[in-house]
Structure 1
Amino acid sequence: MSKRTEPVTLTNMCMIQAQNKILVLDRNDPVWPGLTFPGGHVEAHESFHDSVIREIKEETGLTIADPKLVGVKQFYDHNHERYLVFFYVATKFSGKVTPSEEGKLTWMTKKQLLQHKLAYNFDRDLPIYFDQNLSERILDGKRDELF
């Protein structure tokens, strides 16, 4: 009988929208630098919903309301363990944008975002945020597919 459980890392990322602008994070991380959306890890015993609200508050100073799950990305990390990223969109928020040690925050249009240096492979995640017919990205060895 095959094993039905495995180690997994759970994370989230949220596109925050205000009219035609999107809040983007220019990451300081030398491992994954460039523009992306804020987010982070799901902590033990924390719901996915609560984790994205907490991470956005920590990284941006904003308190988001009603984040909508729009998709997921999965791949295997350098330890060959599954890594999941839950993609959210939030259009309701309060507070003032306050940068964190994660990097600089900027409001941009989608067009402006696409003209900047994005974090590695982030361009392949973006269609899930903008195309309601897509909800999953799978990276597995040579496979990189959107569904």
Structure 2
Amino acid sequence: MTDDRRYPTRPFLAVSAAVFRAGQVLLVRRAQPPSAGPWTLPGGVVEAGETLHTAVVRELREETALEIAPVALAGHREVIVHDAEGRTERHFVVLSFAARWIAGEPVLDAELAAFAWHDPAAVAGLQTTEGLAEIVAAAQAILRAG
């Protein structure tokens, strides 16, 4: 099977969620390169014909078995990975949502290696994907305001 996300002809649209439960935010670690290692938010690619809210709910259910309620967009990140020759190997535009935990306990799918509920104030001190602390802070502010 080929990976059509490698050496794309266009960026892929993806969603993620900063899910809060009892004041803690859910972070995950990816199981496979190139994203393995740092803490990040769960999520994935939006499918054709799918709304952003439907996509983020589906992705969180698939990856973590959690039921969530997306509240609002908390920010975005562009993930662009170049190979040794400078060619664009991967390109994702990720829209990150603030979300509330509704039900379930994390059960990780094969894409994820680990999960943990973290104090949002501690996220900046962790090894994370770029800009994660800012997304988590924005999501926390949205949930506090709402």
- Return the TM-score normalized by structure 2: 0.72
SS at match of 1:89: strand
- Aligned pair count reads 124
**How far apart are residue 24 of structure 1 and its match?**
0.8
Q: In angstroms, what is the RMSD of aligned CA positions?
A: 2.4
**1:2-35 CA distance string (max 9 Å, x none):** xxxx833100111000122111102222211210
Structure 1: which 5+ runs fail to align?
1-5, 133-147
**1:50-93 CA distance string (max 9 Å, x none):** 11000000111101124421222235554388631111011142
Structure 2: which 5+ runs fail to align?
1-8, 83-87, 140-146
Partner of 1:3: none
Partner Cα separation in structure 1 for residue 114 and residue 90 of structure 2: 30
Tell me whether 1:113 sits opposite 2:123 in the alignment.
yes
Percentage of identical aligned residues = 24
Corresponding letter in the other structure for 1:127: E
- Equivalent position to 1:8, from 2, 7, 11: 11
Tell me whether 1:96 sits opposite 2:105 in the alignment.
yes
More helix by share: 2
- Return the TM-score normalized by structure 1: 0.71
Partner of 1:126: 133
Partner of 2:75: 71
**How far apart are residue 105 of structure 1 and its match?**
1.3
SS at match of 1:91: strand
